A and B are shown apart, each in its own frame.
Chain A
Amino acid sequence: MLLALNLAFKNLMGGRLRTILNILILSFAFVIIIFFRGIMNGMDEQMSRAMIDEEIAGGQYWVESYDPFDPLTLDEAYMNIPAEIQKLINNGTAEQILLRPATIFPQGRDQNVILRGINPNQKLVTMPTIALSSQLEFPLLIGKHMAKSSGLNVGDKIMIRWRDKHGAFDAKEGTIVSIMDTIVQTIDRGQIWMRISDLQELSGLPNEATIILVDKNVPPELITGWTFRSTDFLLSDVKSLVKTKQAGAVIMYALLLFLAMLAIFDTQVLAVFRRRKEIGTMIAMGMTRNRVIAIFTIEGALNGVFAIIAGAILGYPLLRYFAVKGMSIYSAADDFGMAIPDRLYAYYSGQLIIGTTLLIFILVTIVSYLPTRKIAKLNPTEAIRGKIT
């Protein structure tokens, strides 16, 4: 084995420019695959983290009639909080949210919004709801996009009109006490947060809620009238987006790898063809065919090993830069309605690096082996004379 390695290494070094080019293209493919997949992983990680931290918590119970994509369901999407959930709320492992459609009148213009009532002292999500503990009579919390689209700032008073549970219109003036900086569009755009006690009172819905946030350690239960939505379900849009992007990128990886493998394959074919006398001599001197095949396969596979080392050395600055400094996204990206951050930071997991390394090494080994199968059929006497059949 050591002899085979030694021979393969020497032969590879003898190739000089050809070897350098093979290593260059392979290491290039290696770095590009890790880079793009790192960016995708980073996107997935950032978006999921932001949504879990700020919106989802450990999962949610929804009133059965609630459909976030159908604002018409909001009028009727509320239900009395059942005893088993009330218990969780009392011990701090669940929080209730009530949703009601409304209209606000910034500078006298109307704008449709969704009022979201929440406990200001909740600890399940990282939204700055504590601002709603203000001594003001009717404090309101909004996101930065909502602030921009409505022209509202901290301290501004805003008239809100809503309908109570009987369908009667009512209106009241609230004060913006805080503007949160969030990338999660579903808690920002068109949303106004207030104390749940205020919203329940205004809409005549005491002890009613639309959504129940639960802690990640709370096991889901079957509760009549409520549907449990796991984090997987609530993150399915993010996962789908990442999967779609990944699927598109796979074509690019495949083409890059195909190019690199073609180069290796071509090198191996030529090596077998040009060194037929050498192969014949080796076999004539008693080396088994399998041993010769092994030498040539190892020679090809070493391309992969060196490419991985070269990729690690040459690609490290680039990969590190995008992991630390990130990559800016065009400012309108959040118009997609998803939690897309302003900057994407690449995230390279051990699984990604090891997986890509193994993939390249295995592919290179297979591609290196394929042309060497000719050696098994070689007639040594013919080969020594420079003929290959």
Chain B
Amino acid sequence: MIKFLLKGILRDRSRSLLPIIIVTMGAFLAVIMYTFMEGGIGGMIETSARFNTGHVRIMTNAYYKIQDQVPNDLALIEVSPLLEKLQTTYPDFRWMTRIQFGGLLDVPDENGETLKQGPVVGTAIDFSSNVGSEIMKIKQGLVSGALPTKPFEILISEQFANKLGLKIGDSVTLLTSTINGSMAFANFIVSGFLSFGINAMDRGTIIADIKDIQSVLDMPDGASDVLGFASNMIYDDKKMVETAKKFNVTFGNAEDEFAPIMLSLGEQDGLDEMLGYADAAGSIIVGLFVFAMAIVLWNSGLMGNLRRYGEIGIRLAMGEPKGFIYRAMILESCMIGIIGSIIGTIIGLFCAYLLEIYGLDYGALMQNSTMMMENVMRAKVTPFAFVIGFLPGVFAPALGAIFAGIGIYKRQTASLFKELEV
């Protein structure tokens, strides 16, 4: 039966060409939309996780309430024992301690007077373990110079360093405040320049070793937060929400403002809302196209039935049951759906692959952005991208055929020969 239908599809162009074109378009659209969403949203999740939220993030209750202010006076203390506990309790996670801070970076002239001064956002990580620099992809972001190896060496975003006229090895002064509110000054040597391809990071970021910053800010063994990552670096929302819940039951204490609290990535910065919004937008657009495709294919099924009026009549006259013909029509449309989906998926994957390599640069539109989002948005080809095109691709023609084929039951066997003008 399938062989017979397939021959019909391949040999009778008028039967299959238009539906295949429509299905190809639908499948192509589904693949492109899905891969671009996956790439864009996935990229944003990954960037947010690496540079801001982690897959899970631990801070104090008090810090969490006003985290926008980066209140290091409310930061975690005695982080080393906490880190050991975390590594024991959650062996399938990678943990990094971090201090976030702000201040002014002062570039002196040859007399030691201020030549230039600019605001900076700083991140301090532990360079003695590779976890922090690996997670933040510091090595990949290093444009020139090297990672800090000696005390009081820092990395500066290249864009910012160029504006300050800095060279590798130059000395700069960080003006900031300790957690006790007093002014703090510290001299650093620039060891390298970084470029992340994220406007929010490239505008004015410095990265220092956590021990140096702990001493500058008067927070021995302290950290703004501890970020946790799944060992495979893939964010699983359900798992992370569950982990955070369990942690808060075991280690948390809502009454104690300095007790730790764990949040999943989705629970921070309105990311779950944003992800939901993006998902909904994608589903709505794909849904609209499935609807449009189903109508067009329904229409095309009607056309097909009219075109094949004679053929259906002869088959009925020869004794083929109406139900059998109806089912054959639906099966045929499913086959057309599969053929169209294969073609659409191939074209879609090819375009998605190009989008994955080259991406679309939105950097110019995000100069004021504070979002942890790469300037270049790329598609991402995942295993599911190979099948997503088949959902609308097979569903829409089948739906169209189900409606269009109803006409078969309206044919009167008695008047067939008259109709066929035999």
- Residues in B neighbouring A330, C-beta threshold 8 A: 270, 273-274, 276-277
Per-residue CB proximity of B61-73 to A under 8 Å, as 1/0? 0000010111111
A101 CA to B117 CA in the complex, in Å? 10
In contact, A263 and B296 (Cβ under 8 angstroms): yes
A330 CA to B269 CA in the complex, in Å? 11
- Residues in B neighbouring A258, C-beta threshold 8 A: 25
Assuming the contacts A109-B70, A109-B177, A260-B296, asked whether A335 and B307 have C-beta atoms less than 8 A apart, the reply is no
- Which interface residue of A25, A101, A237, A260 has the most chain B CB atoms within 10 A? A25
In contact, B299 and A22 (Cβ under 8 angstroms): yes
Assuming the contacts A237-B365, A252-B285, A335-B371, asked whether A110 and B177 have C-beta atoms less than 8 A apart, the reply is yes
Interface residues of B in 33-85 (CB under 8 A from A): 66, 68-73
CB of A119, distance to nearest CB on chain B (Å): 25
In contact, A109 and B306 (Cβ under 8 angstroms): no
- Residues in A neighbouring B362, C-beta threshold 8 A: 244
- Residues in B neighbouring A335, C-beta threshold 8 A: 269, 369-371
Cβ-defined partner of B295 (8 Å) among A21, A71, A109, A111: A21
Cβ-defined partner of B181 (8 Å) among A72, A109, A148, A149: A109
Contact of A219 with B by CB under 8 A:
no
Interface residues of B in 105-119 (CB under 8 A from A): 113-114, 116-119
CB of A361, distance to nearest CB on chain B (Å): 19
- Which interface residue of A70, A101, A259 has the most chain B CB atoms within 10 A? A259
CB of A56, distance to nearest CB on chain B (Å): 15
Contact of A315 with B by CB under 8 A:
no
Cβ-defined partner of A336 (8 Å) among B114, B117, B176, B366: B366
Contact of A18 with B by CB under 8 A:
yes
Contact of B143 with A by CB under 8 A:
no
A72 CA to B104 CA in the complex, in Å? 11
Cβ-defined partner of A109 (8 Å) among B73, B104, B116, B204: B73
Contact of B364 with A by CB under 8 A:
yes
Assuming the contacts A237-B365, A262-B18, A337-B370, asked whether A21 and B271 have C-beta atoms less than 8 A apart, the reply is no
CB of A300, distance to nearest CB on chain B (Å): 14
Binds A, one of B88-96, B146-154, B286-294: B286-294
Binds B, one of A6-14, A192-200, A266-274, A281-289: A266-274
Assuming the contacts A255-B25, A259-B296, asked whether A338 and B368 have C-beta atoms less than 8 A apart, the reply is yes
CB of B197, distance to nearest CB on chain A (Å): 16
- Residues in B neighbouring A186, C-beta threshold 8 A: 368
Interface residues of A in 75-98 (CB under 8 A from B): 75
In contact, A109 and B300 (Cβ under 8 angstroms): no
Assuming the contacts A110-B103, A270-B306, A337-B366, asked whether A28 and B18 have C-beta atoms less than 8 A apart, the reply is no
- Which interface residue of A106, A109, A255 has the most chain B CB atoms within 10 A? A109
- Residues in A neighbouring B270, C-beta threshold 8 A: 330-332
In contact, A108 and B177 (Cβ under 8 angstroms): yes
Assuming the contacts A260-B296, A262-B296, A332-B273, asked whether A189 and B102 have C-beta atoms less than 8 A apart, the reply is no
In contact, B274 and A71 (Cβ under 8 angstroms): no
CB of A25, distance to nearest CB on chain B (Å): 5
Contact of A256 with B by CB under 8 A:
yes
Per-residue CB proximity of A324-360 to B under 8 Å, as 1/0? 0000011110011110000000000000000000000
A229 CA to B2 CA in the complex, in Å? 69
Contact of B163 with A by CB under 8 A:
yes
A18 CA to B203 CA in the complex, in Å? 59
CB of A333, distance to nearest CB on chain B (Å): 8
Contact of B298 with A by CB under 8 A:
yes
Assuming the contacts A21-B299, A32-B288, asked whether A110 and B367 have C-beta atoms less than 8 A apart, the reply is no
Cβ-defined partner of B292 (8 Å) among A25, A69, A274, A338: A25
A196 CA to B71 CA in the complex, in Å? 31
Interface residues of B in 142-195 (CB under 8 A from A): 163-164, 176-177, 180-181
Contact of A290 with B by CB under 8 A:
no
A22 CA to B300 CA in the complex, in Å? 10
A70 CA to B203 CA in the complex, in Å? 8
A274 CA to B307 CA in the complex, in Å? 8
Contact of B21 with A by CB under 8 A:
yes
- Residues in B neighbouring A185, C-beta threshold 8 A: 368
Closest A residue by C-beta to B301 = A21
In contact, B295 and A266 (Cβ under 8 angstroms): no
In contact, B69 and A244 (Cβ under 8 angstroms): no
Cβ-defined partner of B364 (8 Å) among A109, A240, A274, A331: A240
Contact of A375 with B by CB under 8 A:
no
Contact of B6 with A by CB under 8 A:
no
Interface residues of B in 361-406 (CB under 8 A from A): 362, 364-371
- Residues in B neighbouring A317, C-beta threshold 8 A: none
In contact, B118 and A71 (Cβ under 8 angstroms): yes
- Which interface residue of B176, B288, B302 has the most chain A CB atoms within 10 A? B302
- Which interface residue of A72, A148, A149, A331 has the most chain B CB atoms within 10 A? A72
- Residues in A neighbouring B116, C-beta threshold 8 A: 72, 75
Contact of B206 with A by CB under 8 A:
no
Contact of B198 with A by CB under 8 A:
no
Assuming the contacts A244-B365, A270-B306, asked whether A262 and B21 have C-beta atoms less than 8 A apart, the reply is yes
CB of B55, distance to nearest CB on chain A (Å): 18
Contact of B357 with A by CB under 8 A:
no
- Residues in B neighbouring A25, C-beta threshold 8 A: 292, 295-296, 299
Contact of B22 with A by CB under 8 A:
yes
Contact of A381 with B by CB under 8 A:
no
In contact, A111 and B102 (Cβ under 8 angstroms): yes
A331 CA to B271 CA in the complex, in Å? 9
CB of A329, distance to nearest CB on chain B (Å): 8
In contact, A71 and B303 (Cβ under 8 angstroms): no
Contact of A17 with B by CB under 8 A:
yes
- Residues in B neighbouring A244, C-beta threshold 8 A: 362, 365
In contact, B102 and A274 (Cβ under 8 angstroms): no
In contact, B69 and A274 (Cβ under 8 angstroms): no
CB of B97, distance to nearest CB on chain A (Å): 20
In contact, A69 and B367 (Cβ under 8 angstroms): yes
In contact, B370 and A189 (Cβ under 8 angstroms): yes
Contact of B125 with A by CB under 8 A:
no
CB of A230, distance to nearest CB on chain B (Å): 19
Contact of A112 with B by CB under 8 A:
yes
A to B CB contacts below 8 Å, 22 in the list: A18-B303, A25-B292, A28-B292, A69-B368, A70-B163, A111-B102, A112-B102, A163-B117, A186-B368, A237-B365, A240-B365, A244-B362, A256-B289, A259-B25, A263-B300, A266-B18, A329-B277, A331-B273, A332-B269, A332-B274, A335-B369, A336-B366
Known contacts A72-B117, A103-B104, A336-B368; 16 additional CB pairs below 8 A are: A17-B302, A25-B295, A71-B204, A72-B164, A75-B116, A110-B177, A111-B69, A112-B103, A262-B21, A270-B306, A270-B307, A330-B273, A330-B276, A335-B371, A336-B369, A337-B370
Question: Across chains A and B, which 6 residue pairs bring their CB atoms closest together, nearest first?
Answer: A337-B368, A108-B181, A112-B119, A332-B270, A21-B299, A110-B177
